[in-house]
Amino acid sequence: MDVFQFQSQKQTSKRIKKRLTQDQVRLLESSFNYEKKLEPDIKIQLARELGLPPRKVAIWYQNKRARWKNQSLELDYKALQLRLDNVIADKRKLEREVGRLKGELQKAQEMLLGFKPTALPLSSLSASGDEDGSSSFPGNANCCWENAGVVQVDELYACLIGAEGQPGNSNGHDFYAR
């Protein structure tokens, strides 16, 4: 047997792949949309309706499930990527806000440190702007300037900054907590 005859026999033994018609694909798609997993009895029923071998229906389902899973993963990835982008944008906004607030705190601390320890009328220190000079800051034994009428700047600073030198936490009160 020469090479030419061997190649021609090889070509004739190849199966010709038949493509599914649009109606067959439509029926398979509607069946797949109804149920992603192909049961044996449905496979045989579809094969009869389509005029295809059950094996071909099973392979179509297997391929379709693989494509569907990949598409689902891509959609999930895009949704997660969008959520990540939104979270990163929110994080940047919060970082800018923290920077702005730190700047305000530093300015307030510099203003307090720049004052000489003198007596000030309590009404000039009102945080809420009430006529009686009351403040929105919680009071305690060491920060009793609410009813005194006069307060030393050092006392106010100690009350706002705290004994430990950390802003906002004085004697168990966190003035910057939300």
For 19, phi and psi rounded to 5 degrees? -85, 150
Token digits of residue 11? 């070509």
Using one digit for the tens of pLDDT, what is the confidence trace for 33-66?
Answer: 998 888 999 999 999 999 999 999 999 999 999 9
Contact indicator for 172, 164 with CB cutoff of 8 Å: no
Distance CA 98, CA 106 (A): 12
Using one digit for the tens of pLDDT, what is the confidence trace for 99-156?
Answer: 999 999 999 988 888 865 555 555 554 444 444 444 444 444 444 444 444 555 666 6
Q: Give the pLDDT confidence score for residue 4 in this predicted structure.
A: 57
pTM: 0.45
- Number of residues that this document lists for the chain: 178
